[in-house]
Structure 1
Amino acid sequence: MNAGAILEAAGLTKEFGGFVAVNNVNLTVERGSVHALIGPNGAGKTTLFNLLTKFLQPTRGAIRYQGRDITR
């Protein structure tokens, strides 16, 4: 884990049936930083946000908040 990271995603993947909506996302958000998630319609932005906020559970991967695993 990155010592300055408040939120980390490692290998985050979400599949719906045979459709892969988010594939192997790695993300580190450090305290005090600002990030933007951009892309075309259907790119998986909302699905990634829903994974990070625990509205959805990932098919694979891990989410850590302040160093604590919150994946499941």
Structure 2
Amino acid sequence: MAENGEQTAPIMAGSDDASNEEKTVGILAQVRQDHAGQPLALVLLNLRQRFEQAMVEVDDISLARMAHDISDA
């Protein structure tokens, strides 16, 4: 944690050890929990941010499919 109290690293020990597949499953579960049924653009934005934060590369087509499955579209 940074001096100003901002979280700069994962909270749980070992979270950096997860494979990209495990990170993807976790990201999808969290975004589905937080944004299910919301507009496609919002879900897509949140997915893109979460994958960037986790440093997991996902192509635009896959992101769009995931967002569509979660959104109200």
Asked if TM exceeds 0.5, the reply is: no
Which structure shows the higher strand fraction?
1
Which structure shows the higher helix fraction?
2
TM-score range normalised by the length of the shorter chain: under 0.3
Q: Rg bigger for which structure?
A: 2
TM-score (norm 1): 0.28
